[in-house]
Amino acid sequence: MQLSTGNSVWSRCFMAVTLAVAAAAVVVVDAADAVAESNVRLYLGNWAGYVVRGDVHEVSATWVQPEIDCRDPGILQRVVPWVGLNGAQGLDGRVALPLMQTGVESLCASDAAVYAALPGLQVENLAAGMAYADPRIAGTVMNAGAKLADALGAAADGLCSIGVFGGFCSPDKQVDGWWEGYPEPPVSYDDVEVHPGDVMRSVVRWDGGNYLMTLEDRTAKWSRTTAAASPTPPHTAEVVVEGHLDAALPGFDPIVFTDISIDGRPLSDYDAQMYGIPATNRLLAPGPVDGASFTIR
């Protein structure tokens, strides 16, 4: 089964459920038991990784695209490493938009999982249209849509486990490189392919009037750059893995982000905020920053 990308409800909502992070990021917990470093504050949402607040202009990172293990056939499961500018709360307390990002989505999707998720995804799609008017309300609505999708997905997964849906529960693995200027829908690079084990590199830069987003597959030796005009400067930078809030995550190989650079400086030079995903099957949080790298297991 193939899911369409581009301007569909699916692609808009599930490749970057961004305002869910904006709403959930106000929940802060002591992450001492979840990460190797004690006395760390962890912001919960649908991102796992690090966010830097401030007036930045360029962010970049390298990683190896992981292999995923589809364990819950009735639930849409995704692992999405990406690099971006904007999308989180800036120093002024407002959500910085537009979120300009590029990365790779690895997805587990059966027919049963897709049909179960669609009602919630339609709610999330409506929320994306509220992003500029009121990001907090948009985040609340988007979280409601996510909870609906998760509840129906859990029900579908239970029926799949007892064989009710038969072949409709067979998950397909899909891997897509993409870029996005949220709240506009994401766009896939359909003319190229990404495979598990490929060395990927993302760079997002604002030149004063345009956001330039480059996704490079160093293993397959291709690169794609997209320019999106915007006079709005960036106020946050992200290097994260995205999943779906409160849903099960697939199994996946550890993701090691390396060569992280923000305005030419390593991540360790910044007071970066740690984000984690409270999935139903585990809490996904990044390890400590080591210079220009960190690992998500």
Q: Taking the domains of the chain in order of start, what are their residue ranges?
A: 9-296
pLDDT, position 32: 37
Average pLDDT of the residues of the chain: 87
For the stretch 113-153, pLDDT in tens is: 999 999 988 998 888 888 888 878 888 888 888 889 889 99
Would you call 199 helix, strand, or coil by DSSP? strand
| Cα distance between residue 23 and residue 52, in whole Å | 17
Give which of 119, 103, 101 is closest to 9, Cα–Cα.
Answer: 119
Would you call 77 helix, strand, or coil by DSSP? strand
Would you call 43 helix, strand, or coil by DSSP? strand
Distance, first Cα to last Cα, the chain: 29
Give which of 277, 296, 279 is closest to 71, Cα–Cα.
Answer: 279
- One-letter amino acid for residue 197 of the chain: G
For the stretch 43-81, pLDDT in tens is: 998 999 999 999 999 999 999 999 999 989 999 999 999
Give which of 267, 258, 235, 215 is closest to 85, Cα–Cα.
Answer: 235
pLDDT, position 142: 83
- One-letter amino acid for residue 211 of the chain: Y
pLDDT, position 245: 64
- Residue 127 phi/psi, 5-degree rounding, is -65, -35
Q: Which CATH number fits domain 9-296: 2.60.40.2470, 2.60.120.700, 3.40.50.300, 3.40.50.1820?
A: 2.60.120.700
Report residues of the chain scoring pLDDT below 50.
1-38
